[in-house]
Structure 1
Amino acid sequence: MKRFRFSNFMLVAGLLFIYLPMLILVIYSFNASKLVTVWGGWSLKWYFGLLDNSQLMGSVMRSMEIAVYTAVSSVILGTLAAFVLTRIPRFKGRTLFAGMVTAPLVMPEVITGLSLLLLFVAMAQMIGWPAERGILTIWIAHTSFCSSYVAVVVSARLRELDISIEEAAMDLGAKPWKVFMLITIPMIAPSLAAGGMMSFALSLDDLVLASFVSGPGSTTLPMEVFSAVRLGVKPEINAVASLILLSVSLFTFFAWFFSAKAEERRKRAIQQAMDETAGVALMNGPDSRRDPSQKHAAA
């Protein structure tokens, strides 16, 4: 009989604390009752009702659009910042630059959102841009916030790489930009994917920054949910949240599946190469390991 372990209990309790509310949310998304806390039987009417709720679906599509833009721009800016911090050890203002890159990680979002709001207002008064706050300003705010996370993730990966591989490629005549695109980028691809998914999730989940820098007609899903929750949770919100959970779960599963297949193919190719090398050595026999001059003397 296995002994009771406190660590196992805490692991199970932690997983239940995280995933049990999500499971309850999914179950209540099939509730036929208009009251979220009262079970009225199984029904799909709230999922079909989403097709008629143009305001809620519009906020979902708007949040998805901003999240995709944020993921792409954050990966680009964060990767460049990480490359500067790891590949250029000394330059004037390096400490200030590193502090500015990591500052959004520890700075409260309220301060960041208020600062960006004042910046956009001042720029609109001075140069006339942005004329109004909307999707563009939310995208800029989310990019400035998420780039720090990407920079930290990519920096950790770049510090683990063997720089001699890049130096060997440049010794063979490759240009620095070609080495970066064909050697460095493929080696840090997992960290880029992790940073992109993190940026997508942070942008999709953000409420504080979007509340400060948004304008009329640019309400995101968190803002829509927050305004609706103050009047009571609607069943449509449970349905939207369930669909988002399903999408994220499917994306995570397929990402794991294809990465596992790629890793399996890589291991199979390495094993095949090792087998071929061993076969060639066996065909040549023990004399293949001797010095050519010794073979000539033996003859």
Structure 2
Amino acid sequence: MKQLFAFLSILFMLATSSFATYVAVLETAADGSAKDSVPFLDRQYLTNVLREQAVKELPAVQNYTIMTRENIQQMLPPSKSIEDCEGSCLVETGKNIAADYVCQARVGRFGNSLTLSAELYETAGNKLIASFNGRGSDVNELLAVIEAKSPEFFHSVKELEMFKRGKNENSVAKDSAAVDSSAAPLPESTPVIVPVVEKPDVQKAVGENKIGESVPANVGNDDSTKEKSAKKGVRWVPLSIGAAATVTGVVLAVVGNSKAKNASEKKYSTETEYKKNHDDAKSGQTLRGVGIGIAIAGAVGIGLSFAF
């Protein structure tokens, strides 16, 4: 049973690790007179530092992908202005560029001070999962705000992803525990009633019967053997289906992830090419999600097949 649980765990990890989590850091925007105090090149550097902090907190070895400025620009519509976006518009932008999470910082003014605010959204659930605010007298102090607060800011992505994966892992663990409990011995305090069965006379059975023919010693065992064989045959049917579903799901998830990644990295020169890249990225994400669902369902099916 331990081998079964290990097998299910491996299948689950393959399913969940077959795709990367994409995080997009959009260009830092500016409101009102802050545009003059913090010019575009300075805001671009603030974005670079914010993206650098994202890479440190969400490394590629942990299956996170921080989208580059070029990737984001290639996936945006030609007429799209990021600086005009806030809140739900940021989420829609994240979906357009096939990002799982999207964030942006904005520079503004409060009295004589410059302010900096940043928001991080989960695109699938349209949820604001993290934010921070700070202020300073110049752009250098705003940079210090980013360096101080962005690690915890991006760590919220990791916490949410671990929570999602933990829920799925607990589901698989519960199914495996149910399989183990079905084979667990009865508690010592539980009385066991054993029916009394008359022991057949083997010598009489192998002797001559009423018509003078010998009775085989294994008479009565054929039905039991056939029944056990039939049960094993029935068990292999869902087991085979579960294994096939798991393999198929993993393959679909890998193919879908590759398709979404390639589409997000393709360059475009016309609006038609942009729409095609966007559609390909969306279909790749859909295929990836379907594949993950099939793989998890197949793994659960394998576990349940051992319970019957």
Larger Rg: 2
Normalised to the residue count of structure 1, the TM-score between the two structures is 0.23
Bigger fraction of residues in helix: 1
Bigger fraction of residues in strand: 2
Greater RCO (Cα-Cα under 8 Å, separation 6 or more) = 1
Normalised to the residue count of structure 2, the TM-score between the two structures is 0.23
